[in-house]
């Protein structure tokens, strides 16, 4: 189990994180979300042991994670961290980068393991390519595979799919997160993409104003967003009295009701349209299966 106990931290006098407490069970996937600058990367760095803690403690199993004051080399063998910068060796190939820390005394095992990981990150076609020739997204995938090479017990991922184009993203996410589950690898992932969270995280933690403002399953947080900030992470929403926060996909257009609105604009959304309408001289957003003419009177029903 990973235990983060009462951690408060700042780079200067200003505190970036205040009184952070949470646990992650072995094999669990914990996602951390929060606005840019809210301290997600800082929290991962603290878990990794990149800084000394003045307040609070972090443990993996019974081992306390200590910073540079206590460790000549930062980090521990049981933990790997894929940073937002993913520093790779540019002049050697993808497979050499991934196998770099595997023993060369077992060439067959090394080869097998490297091939397995290249498959996990779907880079088969690039195994022999020099890393400097890869795109940002491909490099990110090499960094993930390299972090997995020596079977860490815990993996820290910082916005792991941010550079990867949409064609690949979904299948890659499934592949990587499935590999982690199958191998019982504990994972902490910082992200601003709801698709990294919804289908994969066991727990979701929301950081705002230096503190944890929410900690629960993604389903629970999605269904009961406590603040507009949390709802905005998941999609378009409205604040409608007396209902509170209502996602655009929960506002339905009906034949007749007390809620009358006038269509202002229809935005094509792929599998539906986002309708912006005027309701009590404010905008209301509705997901609908077709575009609607500007000026049309519609009636709405909230289905929570
Ligand atoms: P996030 O990953 O959520 O975008 P960060 O953890 O990177 O947030 O940053 C949190 C805050 O700490 C920001 O205000 C950022 O400017 C500051 N910060 C991050 N790294 C450093 C650093 N090495 N030195 C000083 N301030 C930093
Ligand atoms: Mg960050």
Share of the chain above pLDDT 70, in %: 100
Residue 184 domain-assigned (yes or no): yes
pLDDT tens-digit profile of 229-263? Answer: 999 999 999 999 889 999 999 999 999 999 999 99
Q: Are residues 67 and 204 located together in one domain of the fold?
A: yes
**C-beta of 191 in contact with ligand 1 (< 6 A):** no
Q: Are residues 84 and 167 located together in one domain of the fold?
A: yes
* Ligand 2 mean position, distance from CA 265 (Å): 35
Q: Is the pLDDT of residue 44 over 90?
A: yes
Q: Is the pLDDT of residue 3 over 90?
A: yes
pLDDT tens-digit profile of 190-202? Answer: 999 999 999 999 9
pLDDT tens-digit profile of 66-82? Answer: 999 998 889 999 999 99
User: For residue 45, which ligand has an atom nearest its CA?
Assistant: 1
**Which CATH number covers residue 241?**
2.40.50.140
Atom of ligand 1 lying closest to residue 45 CA: 6
Q: Is the pLDDT of residue 147 over 90?
A: yes
Q: Which of 8, 10, 11, 33 to mutate to test the pocket of ligand 1 (most atoms within 8 A of CB)?
A: 11
pLDDT tens-digit profile of 95-137? Answer: 999 998 888 888 899 999 999 999 999 999 999 999 999 999 9
Q: Are residues 215 and 252 located together in one domain of the fold?
A: no
Give the per-residue pLDDT at 286.
97
User: For residue 34, which ligand has an atom nearest its CA?
Assistant: 1
Residue 231 domain-assigned (yes or no): no
Give the per-residue pLDDT at 78.
97
Atom of ligand 1 lying closest to residue 190 CA: 2
User: Pick from 226, 258, 281: which residue ends a domain?
Assistant: 226
Q: Which residue's CA is the closest to the ligand 1 atom numbered 14? A: 37
**C-beta of 39 in contact with ligand 1 (< 6 A):** yes
pLDDT tens-digit profile of 85-94? Answer: 878 999 999 9
Residue 59 domain-assigned (yes or no): yes
CA-atom Rg of the chain in angstroms: 23
Sheet containing 259-268, strands listed edge to edge, beginning at the edge strand earlier in sequence: 251-254, 297-302, 259-268, 273-279, 282-288
User: What is the Cα–Cα distance from 45 to 81, expressed in whole angstroms?
Assistant: 8
Give the per-residue pLDDT at 141.
94
Q: How far is CA 235 from CA 73, 193, 265, in A?
A: 42, 11, 18
* Ligand 1 mean position, distance from CA 43 (Å): 10
Q: Is the pLDDT of residue 155 over 90?
A: yes
How much is the pTM? 0.93
Distance of alpha carbon 290 from its chain centroid, rounded? Answer: 32
Q: At what angle do helices 166-182 and 136-148 cross, to 10 degrees?
A: 0
For all residues of the chain together, what is the average pLDDT?
A: 95
Q: Is the pLDDT of residue 23 over 80?
A: yes
**Cβ within 8 Å of residue 278, ≥6 positions away:** 261, 262, 264, 284
* Ligand 1 mean position, distance from CA 13 (Å): 13
Q: Are residues 210 and 274 located together in one domain of the fold?
A: no
Going by pLDDT thresholds of 50, 70 and 90, the confidence category of residue 153 is very high
**Cβ within 8 Å of residue 182, ≥6 positions away:** none
SS3 133: helix
Q: Is the pLDDT of residue 304 over 80?
A: no
Q: Are residues 31 and 172 located together in one domain of the fold?
A: yes
CB 145 within 8 A of CB 176: no
User: What is the Cα–Cα distance from 54 to 279, expressed in whole angstroms?
Assistant: 52
Q: Are residues 214 and 243 located together in one domain of the fold?
A: no
CB 248 within 8 A of CB 285: yes
Instruction: Report, as an integer, the average pLDDT of 211-227.
Output: 96
Per DSSP, helices labelled H in the chain are 40-48, 94-99, 107-120, 136-148, 166-182, 218-223, 228-234
DSSP assignment letter at 208: E
Q: Which two tokens stand for residue 34?
A: 């929060």
Give the per-residue pLDDT at 85.
81
**Which CATH number covers residue 28?**
3.40.50.300
**C-beta of 40 in contact with ligand 1 (< 6 A):** yes
Q: Which domain holds residue 52?
A: 2-226
Going by pLDDT thresholds of 50, 70 and 90, the confidence category of residue 207 is very high
Q: How far is CA 205 from CA 34, 91, 214, 299, in A?
A: 9, 38, 6, 37
Q: Is the pLDDT of residue 8 over 90?
A: yes
Question: Measured between alpha carbons, how far apart are the two ends of the chain, in Å?
Answer: 36
**C-beta of 34 in contact with ligand 1 (< 6 A):** yes
Q: Which residue's CA is the closest to the ligand 1 atom numbered 6? A: 39
Q: Which of 13, 33, 35, 41 to mutate to test the pocket of ligand 1 (most atoms within 8 A of CB)?
A: 41
SS3 286: strand
**C-beta of 14 in contact with ligand 1 (< 6 A):** no
Give the per-residue pLDDT at 275.
98
* Ligand 2 mean position, distance from CA 160 (Å): 11
Give the per-residue pLDDT at 236.
95
Instruction: Report, as an integer, the average pLDDT of 268-295.
Output: 96
Going by pLDDT thresholds of 50, 70 and 90, the confidence category of residue 289 is very high
Give the per-residue pLDDT at 143.
95
User: Pick from 201, 226, 251: which residue ends a domain?
Assistant: 226
**Is the backbone of residue 49 left (phi > 0), alpha (psi -120 to 50) or beta?**
left
User: Pick from 162, 197, 226: which residue ends a domain?
Assistant: 226
């Amino acid at each position: 189990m990973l235990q983060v106990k009462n951690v408060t931290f700042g780079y200067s006098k200003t505190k970036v994180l205040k009184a952070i407490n949470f646990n992650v069970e072995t094999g669990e996937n914990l996602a951390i979300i929060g606005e840019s600058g809210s301290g997600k990367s800082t929290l991962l760095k603290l878990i990794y042991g990149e800084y000394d803690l003045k307040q609070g403690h972090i443990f993996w199993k019974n081992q306390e994670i200590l910073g540079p004051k206590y460790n000549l080399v930062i980090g521990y063998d049981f933990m790997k961290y894929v940073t937002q910068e993913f520093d790779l060796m540019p002049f050697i190939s993808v497979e050499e980068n991934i196998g770099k820390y595997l023993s060369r005394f077992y060439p067959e095992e090394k080869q097998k393991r490297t091939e397995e990981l290249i498959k996990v990150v779907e880079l088969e076609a690039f195994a022999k390519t020099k890393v400097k020739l890869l795109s940002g997204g491909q490099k990110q995938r090499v960094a993930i595979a390299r972090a997995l090479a020596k079977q860490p017990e815990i993996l820290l991922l910082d916005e792991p799919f941010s550079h990867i184009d949409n064609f690949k993203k979904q299948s890659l996410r499934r592949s990587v997160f499935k590999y982690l589950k199958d191998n019982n690898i504990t994972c902490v992932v910082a992200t601003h993409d709801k698709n990294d969270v919804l289908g994969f995280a066991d727990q979701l933690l929301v950081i705002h104003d230096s503190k944890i403002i929410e900690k629960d399953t993604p389903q629970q947080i999605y269904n009961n967003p406590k603040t507009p900030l949390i709802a905005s992470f998941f999609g378009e929403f409205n604040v409608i009295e007396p209902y509170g926060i209502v996602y655009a996909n929960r506002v339905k257009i009906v034949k007749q009701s007390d809620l009358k609105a006038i269509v202002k604009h229809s935005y094509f959304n792929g599998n539906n349209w986002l309708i912006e309408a005027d309701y009590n001289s404010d905008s209301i957003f509705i997901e609908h299966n077709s575009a609607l003419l500007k000026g049309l009177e519609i009636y709405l029903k909230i289905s929570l």
